[in-house]
């Protein structure tokens, strides 16, 4: 089967850097995505890694290592508004392109 | 501006009642999805459709039904057979064009509660 694991909660302070890890088990996939969701809101797309390596988008970066079955989301210069849940998701290999979702990591940014 | 519109934002269902959640998109996306999210949980796929007049069951389709008569619309009916319908329902869409960054666009969600 396919599964993803993320830490359930992470706490950090404003201005710091935090890394949210995502490990997975799957037989094949197109890539790894990251989404942000504030309480009561809809998930919004942050980043996508189709290949191994680092993708940078402003304060957020995402990394993928297929050989290690591992990825992470790196948030720099944390702001209070970054307090949210962060989900990793795998794009299932095959024609249906279903996403397999992790259970999410709740990030609390404190002053 | 293009996007996905879900309505209503809040919905209450009486026992034995069917209710329908609306999802409309003007992004010209081929693929549309319905997810269910329970508190503190991830997203679970209910149904998805990759083309008009065709749809497939997701992981938790029992007690739900959908239709895809138009590219822009993908309504979800929560039937009386769904015994635990209280959840946050999210509709999403995706372009089928390649290459892609696999980006899903989400609606703002519908919170369904049982009276």
The predicted-structure confidence for A6-56, as pLDDT tens digits, reads as follows 999 999 999 999 999 999 998 788 899 999 999 989 999 999 999 999 999
Taking only the tens place, the pLDDT of each residue in B7-18 is 999 999 988 899
Q: What percent of chain B has pLDDT above 90?
A: 76
Cα A19 from Cα A21, distance rounded (Å): 6
Residue of chain A whose alpha carbon sits nearest to that of B5: A42
Check if B108 contacts A (Cβ < 8 Å).
yes
Q: What confidence category does residue A97 fall into, taking pLDDT thresholds of 50, 70 and 90?
A: low
Contacts of A42 in chain B (CB under 8 A): 90, 106-109
The pLDDT assigned to B39 comes to: 87
Q: What confidence category does residue B41 fall into, taking pLDDT thresholds of 50, 70 and 90?
A: confident
Cα B7 from Cα B108, distance rounded (Å): 9
Strand-strand pairing, B31-37 and A99-101: unpaired
Does B59 or A18 have the greater pLDDT score? A18
A104–B58 C-beta distance less than 8 A: no
Q: List B residues 38-77 in contact with A (Cβ-Cβ < 8 A).
A: 40-45, 48, 50, 56, 58
Chain A nearest CA to B89, separation (Å):
10
Contacts of B102 in chain A (CB under 8 A): 30-31, 33, 48, 50, 91, 97, 99
Chain A nearest CA to B78, separation (Å):
20
Contacts of B32 in chain A (CB under 8 A): none
Q: What confidence category does residue A94 fall into, taking pLDDT thresholds of 50, 70 and 90?
A: low
Q: What confidence category does residue B1 fall into, taking pLDDT thresholds of 50, 70 and 90?
A: low
What is the average per-residue pLDDT within B88-101? 80
Q: What is the largest CA-CA distance in chain B?
A: 45
A104–B42 C-beta distance less than 8 A: yes
Q: What confidence category does residue B99 fall into, taking pLDDT thresholds of 50, 70 and 90?
A: low
A42–B107 C-beta distance less than 8 A: yes
Residue A1's contacts (CB-CB under 8 Å, 6 or more residues apart) are A25
CA R_g for chain B: 14
Cα A20 from Cα A6, distance rounded (Å): 7
A96–B102 C-beta distance less than 8 A: no
Question: Is B78:B61 a contact under the CB 8 Å cutoff?
Answer: no
């Amino acid at each position: 089967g396919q599964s993803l694991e993320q830490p359930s909660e992470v706490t950090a302070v404003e201005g710091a850097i935090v890394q949210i890890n995502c490990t997975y088990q799957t037989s094949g996939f197109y890539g790894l995505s990251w989404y942000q969701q504030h309480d009561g809101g809809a998930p919004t797309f942050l980043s996508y890694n189709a290949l191994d390596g680092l993708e940078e988008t402003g304060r957020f970066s995402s990394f993928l290592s297929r050989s290690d079955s591992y990825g992470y989301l790196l948030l720099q210069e944390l702001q209070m508004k970054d307090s949210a849940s962060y989900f990793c998701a795998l794009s299932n290999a095959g024609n249906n392109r279903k996403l397999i979702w992790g259970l999410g990591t709740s990030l609390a940014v404190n002053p | 501006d293009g996007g996905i519109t879900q309505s209503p934002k809040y919905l209450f269902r009486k026992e034995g009642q069917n209710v329908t959640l609306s999802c409309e998109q003007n992004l010209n996306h081929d693929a549309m999805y319905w997810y269910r999210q329970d508190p503190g949980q991830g997203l679970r796929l209910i149904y998805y459709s990759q083309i008009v007049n065709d749809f497939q069951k997701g992981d938790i389709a029992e007690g739900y039904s959908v239709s895809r008569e138009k590219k822009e619309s993908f309504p979800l009916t929560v039937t009386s057979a769904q015994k635990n319908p209280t959840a946050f329902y999210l509709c999403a869409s995706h372009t089928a064009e390649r290459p892609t960054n696999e980006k899903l666009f989400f609606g703002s969600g519908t919170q369904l509660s049982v009276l």
